Amino acid sequence: MNTRDNSRAELDPQSSILNPARNAYPHPYIAREGWPFIAAAVGAAGFTHWLAGGWCALPLWLVVAFMVQFFRDPPRAVPREPRAVLSPADGRIVAVERVRDPYLERDALKLSVFMNVFNAHSNRSPVDGEVRDAWYHRGSFFNAALSKSSLENERNALWMRTTGGADVTCVQIAGLVARRILCYARPGQWLARGERYGFIRFGSRVDVYLPLESRPVAAVGDKVYATASVLAMLP
């Protein structure tokens, strides 16, 4: 690995959606990253319930409920439109702007998705393409809703090239609470749109840098869903 330092967002479900079974995951509805956390929480709650009763265990059962909702990882249908750039995460759009892509050193359109602790945190490929390179940067843990988190927080970036030759940079960014970015994609690997490639634990952000000529579909404030929502259209 190279170590260089809403409604408007969704396509018509009747005409633009593939069968979700084509993007089935090799695990159940709960993300595999959450199994140890949920098991530990259930064990602690169950033991406390047996030892001290239900009222004493109630806070721990609430922790179990939180863990289950946080690590949920539902399958999603994939829009058909080949030029569509799909949301890589569940959350809310906090930035749509023209900026400098710090990874490919180009002017680009950037869209940022902020995930709070109540969003599903599985990350999925926004386009069909080959992973050309990857960069991991250690950094700070500012609130991921802040724009400075894009360049100062701990992050992992993937450079992807689509079948049409467009370059897309997808960046997982740790947040105020997040302390672990998981990325399973490697240079040379092919990712299909909507394919699961990573996970960020407990609050975070994903930035997507696109060719400057791309047309944004999502707007700041839109609520988006990984794979199901369209962020922009490639030129």
Which residues are catalytically annotated?
204
What does the block give as tokens for 162? 């689509």
List of residues 6+ apart from 201 with CB closer than 8 A? 33, 121, 178, 179, 180, 182
Reported in sequence order, the residue ranges of the chain that DSSP labels E, i.e. its strands, are 84-86, 91-101, 106-115, 122-124, 129-137, 155-162, 167-174, 181-183, 190-191, 196-200, 204-211, 215-216, 223-224, 230-233
Residue with tokens 């170590």: 3
Q: How far apart are the first and last CA of the chain?
A: 29
Angle formed at CA 212 by CA 171 and CA 195, multiple of 5 degrees: 40
> What are the tokens at 110?
């950037």
